[in-house]
């Protein structure tokens, strides 16, 4: 497989129109441009299952460069990649032995932003391709956890009413769950962790985020399992911030903005 290293501007971004009203989308996209982030694209394309295998098994924050199936990229993946890229720099994950807690925090932020996008798009871009895939998958996870259709609709309504709050609530839940689970040594211990989180409003969709993959990747990566003071400081700051995404935008997304390359137009706030 011959792989090309392409910039964001050399790719076609799908479903971008649906995210045009989300100010942070433009800022995250600009951050990838500014830093010259490159994606790995197989010549002639590659199957989805092979790409998933290679990314899950061999991707690391120290190397970056997500592997794609071809030269098309969904707009929501742009944001997911951008959060991982920014977190790697802010949390020091690009070193030889990155912190496990830092890596889990990065994943929690990137994944919780997906829920934020759901909330922002539900009332503005109901025909988004992102919603067409995300909402049914979330509903399936919620149903498996015992949340009925009416309960799930009510949960989505809450997310749409306050996407910023939904982001931080889910981010904190994902980080708390992953941080505890990665240190569990038995089924009983892990089950006790999950039981302790069952009262959280987003507990019914917790398994939508495939925490088992996070845990296995963290354990296999050889990173430090010690408590990470930097990650914990960021976690505490996000919990205390009036709007966690505003904190991240100011300190992570727009750092070094003056050196951006290419078009960086777009509203600057998370509520834009």
- pLDDT band of 262, cuts 50, 70, 90: very low
Contacts of residue 200, Cβ cutoff 8 Å, sequence gap at least 6: 169, 173, 206
Q: What is the pLDDT of residue 55?
A: 78
Q: How far apart are CA 193 and CA 24, in angstroms?
A: 33
Residue 195's Cβ-count burial label (10 Å; 0-12, 13-18, 19+) is exposed
pTM for this prediction = 0.89
- pLDDT band of 211, cuts 50, 70, 90: very high
Closest by alpha carbon to 33, among 82, 102, 83?
82
Cβ proximity of 40 and 65 under 8 Å: yes
Phi, psi of 173 (to 5 degrees): -65, -50
Half-sphere exposure (Cβ direction) of 236: Cα atoms closer than 13 Å: 6
Cβ proximity of 19 and 125 under 8 Å: yes
pLDDT of 192 higher than 80: yes
Q: How far apart are CA 109 and CA 270, in angstroms?
A: 14
Q: What is the pLDDT of residue 118?
A: 97
């Amino acid at each position: 497989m011959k792989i090309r290293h392409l910039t964001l501007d050399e790719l076609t971004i799908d479903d971008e129109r649906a995210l045009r009203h989300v100010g942070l989308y433009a800022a995250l996209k600009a951050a990838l441009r500014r830093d010259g982030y490159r994606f790995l694209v197989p010549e002639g394309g590659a199957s989805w299952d092979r790409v998933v295998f290679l990314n899950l098994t061999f991707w690391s924050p120290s190397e970056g460069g997500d592997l794609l199936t071809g030269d098309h990229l969904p707009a929501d993946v742009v944001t997911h990649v951008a959060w991982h890229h920014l977190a790697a720099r802010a949390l020091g994950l690009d070193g030889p032995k990155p912190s496990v807690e830092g890596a889990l925090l990065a994943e929690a932020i990137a994944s919780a932003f997906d829920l934020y996008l759901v909330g922002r798009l539900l009332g503005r871009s109901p025909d988004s391709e992102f919603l067409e895939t995300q909402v049914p998958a979330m509903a399936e996870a919620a149903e498996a956890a015992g949340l009925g259709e009416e309960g799930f609709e009510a949960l989505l309504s809450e997310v749409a009413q306050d996407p910023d709050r939904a982001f931080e609530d889910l981010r904190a839940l994902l980080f708390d769950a992953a941080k505890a689970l990665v240190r569990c040594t038995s089924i009983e211990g892990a089950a006790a962790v999950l039981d302790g989180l069952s009262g959280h409003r987003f507990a019914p969709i917790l398994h939508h985020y495939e925490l088992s993959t996070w845990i296995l990747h963290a354990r296999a990566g050889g990173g430090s399992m010690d408590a990470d003071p930097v990650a914990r400081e960021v976690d505490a700051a996000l919990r205390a911030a009036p709007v966690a995404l505003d904190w991240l935008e100011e300190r992570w997304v727009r750092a070094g903005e003056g050196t951006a390359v290419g078009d960086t137009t777009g509203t600057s706030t998370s509520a834009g």
